[in-house]
Copies of this chain bind each other. A is one copy, B any other.
Amino acid sequence: MTAALRDIQALRERIDQRLKTLYPEGPASLTAPVEYVSLGKGKRLRPLLTLITARACGGTVEDALPAAIAVEALHNFTLVHDDIMDHDELRHGQPSVHARWGDSSAILTGDVLFVLALKELRKSPAQVDRLTEAFAQGALAVCEGQALDLEFESRADVSLKDYMEMIDLKTGQMLGLAARLGAISGGGTAESIAGAGHFGLLLGRAFQIQDDLLELISDAGTMGKSLGSDLVSGKKTYLYLVAFQQAPDEVAAAVSAAGKNIETGVNLFRELLVKTGAREKAERLIRETVDSAVAALEPFGSGKADLLAFADIVLNRKN
């Protein structure tokens, strides 16, 4: 294990330690699912980004911990509600909150996670006002991203531009918020706060496209299944939209085939992604987006080393 990874592990432990006391007192029907979701598996990427960014700005981990926990609670709020909407019964291999406690509990668990995020953020030792402004802005973006994602499932005319806007709101803005809160907490300059936000946003964009790509090239049965069900449900991804632009009839045929037999449909779709150049285009876009993300770190000078190591973790190059 490298020094950078040992450091990440130590930060994760501090985050988990603090998450244990996120909601110490309250109705049992809320405290139990909040603890379940807060201490579940998951890489804690967003709070890690907050802490690493704060440090890169010259601040302390301690001062940025409330903001880090707020970001994780906000992220969990979206996961709990999204899982209800998407009928996802599993999260990190465990039953999702609504699968275990029912929809009503899951709605309320999400709601209270949102409130706890705000309350946690307000414990920050400085810049509470600016942190709260950024938090409200980021939370709105995430809700709007999820709304667009749901709208797109029933729309045939989703453009690549629409799609990029949606993933920026849903995924990018959350990582952007994590980095921005870290930079504010760490006493960063206006330039480093803006740079950090931009870095997080672009990293989130690259992450989302890579996630779709990994699903495609993975040999694992579960991955294929998930890709198949996305095809059947009409879920739009970058790869889907590029392939559809190039060969609408063949993509429609693959979707129709997946409705009858998932494996056949998925295989047809995989071939199409190579044939239409969608896969290559996605790989190029990921590289370019990561390059832009790294360029956004210019205000950090040599302090950006940890943020670069973090980018590698997000993009699954290290763990």
Contacts and interface: CB of A to CB of B under 8 A. Distances in A.
Chain A's interface size range is 35 or more
Interface string A151-167: 10000000000000000
A26 B110 CA distance: 22
Nearest to A108: B147
Nearest to A146: B108
Given A29-B151, A129-B128, A143 B85 contact: no
Interface in A105-158: 105, 107-108, 110-112, 114-116, 118-119, 122, 128-129, 132-133, 136-137, 139-140, 143-144, 146-148, 150-151
A27 B143 CA distance: 10
B122 A104 contact: no
Contacts of A122: 132-133, 136
A103 interface: yes
A30 interface: yes
Contacts of A27: 144, 147-148, 151
Give the interface SS of chain A, mostly helix, strand, loop or mixed: helix
A273 B262 CA distance: 61
A30 B143 contact: yes
A236 interface: no
A128 B29 CA distance: 32
A81 B27 CA distance: 18
Interface string A75-109: 00100010011000000000000000001110110
Contacts of A1: none
A28 interface: yes
Contacts of A114: 111, 114
Interface centre among A30, A111, A148, A151 (most CB of B within 10 A): A111
Interface in A26-40: 26-30
Given A30-B143, A132-B132, 10 more contacts: A27-B148, A29-B147, A30-B144, A85-B104, A103-B103, A105-B150, A107-B107, A115-B139, A122-B133, A122-B136
Interface of A: 26-30, 77, 81, 84-85, 103-105, 107-108, 110-112, 114-116, 118-119, 122, 128-129, 132-133, 136-137, 139-140, 143-144, 146-148, 150-151
11 contacts: A29-B150, A29-B151, A77-B111, A84-B103, A85-B107, A107-B107, A107-B110, A108-B143, A108-B146, A115-B136, A129-B129
